[in-house]
Amino acid sequence: MSIEKGQLSIHTENFLPIIKKWLYSDQDIFVRELLSNCCDAIAKRRMVGEFPEDYTPAITVRVDKEHRILSFTDNGVGMTADEVRKYINQVAFSGASDFLEKYKDSGEQIIGHFGLGLYSAFMVSDKVRIDTLSCLPGETAVTWESDGSVEYSMEESEREEVGTTVTLYLNAESDSFLDGENVKSVIRKYCSFMPSPIYCIVEGEKKEEHHHHHDHEDGCECEECKHDHDECECEECKHDECECDECADKHEDEPEMLNTPTPLYMKAPKDCTEEDYKKFYRDTFHEWEEPLFWIHLNADYPFNLHGILYFPRIRTDVAVNEGQVKLYSNQVFIADNIKEIIPEFLLLLKGVVDCPDLPLNVSRSFLQNDGYVRKLSDYITRKVADRLTGLFKNEREQYETYWKDIHPFIKYGCLRDEKFYDRVKDAIIYKTSKAEYVTLQDYLDKAKDTHENQVYYATDEDRQANTVGLYEERDLQVIVMGSPIDGSFMSFIESKNEKLHFARVDAAIADALKDSEAAIDADMTGKLEEMFKFAVEDTNLKVRLESLKNSDTPAVLLLDENMRRYQEAMKLWGSDGMPDFPLDKTLVLNAAHPLVKNLAARQQDDTAKDISLQLYDLAEMAQQPLSAERMNAFITRSMKLMTTLATEKDQ
């Protein structure tokens, strides 16, 4: 055929500028698009059945820095001249035009930009050439060229291999795609699991000289000079590993395969070992710390869905533990952490999910409102919940060892998704101050005779150890709720159980801690109230006298539970600039403690004031550190009281 020239079916003259503007943020996406086309071509050739018995599918990416060329070659189905006219001149470019006209002014993110195909190559190219030969008998090879304008040319070529090569003549702004390592990195990013083998050859890439090569004289008997490629048995000289120039020449046509055509998640779970799962995790996420456990998603009905979700260990050295769930379609990478498909709380995990039937080339708002996508998201949530409840029922001891790492994820999931909560609520456990694990029902069953529907908790076991000890010595369970999410989670659980209430150990004095038979002297109460009002400059402080069964604790400072939770929530959600609301405080003095009895018997003098302040500060220190000013005053006062005590003894 003679040279054929014509105009592409494009209705927009500024086609190329729009392409560049639209995809500027992820310019490397053209690599995925062209390699996807290569995989499609190979799949079609398999369907057509026109290939020799020894046919081995392969895709080769070639980087030629000297000539500023990047090419993509497959041995797939190829195209006839008529197919080039149809699929390149008409379908591809008219599809590009329609796509851009539909979305260029929407301002929305289009999921994966999938289907950009050949025209994505013009983001980085001054010119694109296609060389192709159809696998059908008797067909003639064709060359097609375009510079990205509305013009193209097409003619017969001398190509002899069935398949297609797309050659990109890179523009001045695309030097990064002449870097072989960068191109390989992009291929691994988007195409790690594509179903056909992908290789990359970098033209002119020189192997490092073999370390045996040096300037020793002939006849030298040192170990380095004994090297002989026909006889040497050292590891470096073995055929598959030697990198010297001599061996490189022999293996020039053996580039590294950059992808895994049959990834682990596409296999049946019964065919995967524990080590397989761990290796896949390391290779995919470059993590060397092993995951806790995983969920293998493998469904053909009601969804075509494959994937593996891993529960990683929570890192204590970072403020936010963000996971990474990679979304694929037919083994082609789309994007990370698409919450319209993967429920938001599951994005704390790491994993891969492959959904071949996802609608692509659509906005995220469409996905959010699509019935199929919602059902798919619900299905993934259910499978995760089933795995967790299964572990709880069948591997309880192991499940408890996971809890430190997985409880923030489960609690966050409950807050975000009521269906998830309904499925896992019986598998939620609580760690007690004695390092035991109980369910909420376990706790309530034990508490029904002493504090029914009341759950006592600590947020800091060490700092609140004194108060926690009061509960433990009366065999009252205290659970530990020290994570940032626990405040919101407790409120959520209370909303699900109308009579249930969580109270921190310093929010109230449980009846079981009081000596109900001891009488409280009203005059003693009034005197102590006056004494503390005189000593402590805190108008929100209330003073109360109780007789506690524990006679070693002189005072306990109680904080209003609801107001304290509200303050903590404000700080958690970034309202640090707002002034704190004054908390209602109640100082409970233990009428059974000798120091309190002694104080009540004193006159209201400076020593009584110092003792009052000392008791108040000690009670406060059991909850939180004192301010620098109060700590200095506390130390000075301590010295003064000890001096007074020593002087009184001497007298």
CA 390 from centroid of its chain's CA atoms: 23
Same domain? 365 vs 440:
no
368, 390, 412 — which closes off a domain? 390
Q: Does residue 526 share a domain with residue 497? A: no
Assign 211 a pLDDT band (cuts: 50, 70, 90): very low
Asked, for residue 130, whether it belongs to a domain, the answer is yes
Element (H, E) at 563: helix 561-572
- Name the least confident of 217-231, 353-367, 478-492: 217-231
**Does residue 253 fall inside a structural domain?**
no
Q: Which residues contact 537 (CB under 8 A, 6 or more apart)?
A: none
Q: Is the pLDDT of residue 117 over 80?
A: no
Q: Are residues 188 and 44 in the same domain?
A: yes
Whole-number Cα distances in Å, 619 to 58, 379, 564, 588: 74, 51, 17, 9
The answer as to whether 218 is a domain residue is no
Instruction: Name the pLDDT band for 314 (thresholds 50, 70, 90).
Output: confident
| 525 and 503 inside one domain | no
Both 523 and 585 in one domain: the answer is yes
Q: Which domain holds residue 177?
A: 4-202
Residues 474 and 533 reside in one and the same domain: no
> Are 322 and 190 part of one and the same domain?
no
379 plus 462 within the same structural domain: no
Contact yes or no for 466/454 (Cβ under 8 A): no
We report the CATH number of the domain holding residue 346 as 3.30.230.80
pLDDT of 95 > 70? The answer is no
Q: Secondary structure of 245-260 in the HEC alphabet?
A: HHHHHHCCCCCCECCC
- Shared domain for 12 and 52, answered yes or no, is yes
Q: State whether 508 and 525 are in the same domain.
A: no
Round to the nearest angstrom and report the end-to-end CA distance of the chain.
Answer: 123
575: in domain: no
Is 237 inside a domain boundary? no
Tens digit of each residue's pLDDT (9 = 90 or more) over 172-189: 989 999 999 999 999 999
Could you tell me the CATH number of the domain that includes residue 491? 3.40.50.11260
Q: Provide the pLDDT for residue 614.
A: 92
- Is 435 inside a domain boundary? yes
How many structural domains is the chain composed of?
A: 4
Give the chain's mean pLDDT.
83
Taking only the tens place, the pLDDT of each residue in 138-165 is 899 999 998 877 788 999 999 999 999 9
Question: Residue 577 pLDDT > 90, yes or no?
Answer: no
pLDDT at residue 10 is higher than 80 = no
Q: Which of 366, 390, 414 is the last residue of a domain?
A: 390
Residue 587 in contact with residue 541, Cβ under 8 Å? yes
Looking at the fold, whether 366 and 507 belong to one and the same domain comes out as no
Domain-terminating residue out of 202, 225, 245: 202
Output the domain CATH number for residue 595.
1.20.120.790
In this structure, is residue 77 part of a structural domain? yes
Do 502 and 529 share a domain, yes or no? Answer: no
Q: Tokens 């006159």 — which residue?
A: 603
434 falls in which pLDDT band (50, 70, 90)? very high
pLDDT in tens, 31-58: 998 999 999 999 999 888 777 888 899 9
Give the CATH number of the domain where residue 50 resides: 3.30.565.10
* pTM for the structure as a whole: 0.78
Task: Count CB atoms within 10 A of the CB of residue 580.
Answer: 10
